[in-house]
Amino acid sequence: MVEAEALMGTLEYGQLLSLFTHFLALSLLAVGGAITTAPDMHRYVVNEQHWLSNEQFTASVALAQAAPGPNVLFVAVIGYNVAGLPGALATLAGILLPSTTLALWATRWGRQRNDTIGVRAFTAGLAPLTLGLLLATGWILAEPARESLGAIALVALTVWVTVKTRLSPLWLVALGAVVGMLGWA
């Protein structure tokens, strides 16, 4: 019992359950991937619960995005920073269980009906929704850098290049790394 409490840090079991259920609900809103729900994750763990600071949240997302592996790893890093290993397990299980189950079911259902107008309309409607969620995520994650003219210019350049060209996003990430290392953003 003492070891479990030590692993959980300052979170109680009820708070850990709250973390799990919040990420469980977010899972069903994660159209376009878990990263699209980052603004609400930020609102919950930073603004409402005060489990992480704005800087800790942004660093958690950045660290996980820089690491190789699935995009959803940032959820585990946020959970780990909130409550250690139990927090990582709670957030990851919460975000993966419903969306995985729903995605498997919907894919099978949609494949059987992919010629119907309803399925085609639903698929076409997801693109603007996903774009809006990604823009909201970008706005939250760019908050620490919004006061830097170099960072704003880099974001604008990235959006322009992404929209107007077929250049790999890896080049934009490399450009951002160089600009950051030089202290321009």
Domain boundaries, the chain: 2-119
Alpha carbon distance 67, 43 (integer Å) = 24
Q: What is the pLDDT of residue 145?
A: 76
DSSP character for 142?
A: T
Each residue of 125-172: pLDDT tens digit? Answer: 888 888 888 888 878 877 877 788 888 888 888 889 988 998 887 888
What pTM was computed for the model? 0.59
Query: Is residue 154 within 8 Å of residue 185, measured between CB atoms?
Result: yes
Which residues lie below 8 Å from residue 94, measured CB to CB, with a gap of 6+? 19, 20, 21, 22, 23, 24, 26, 27
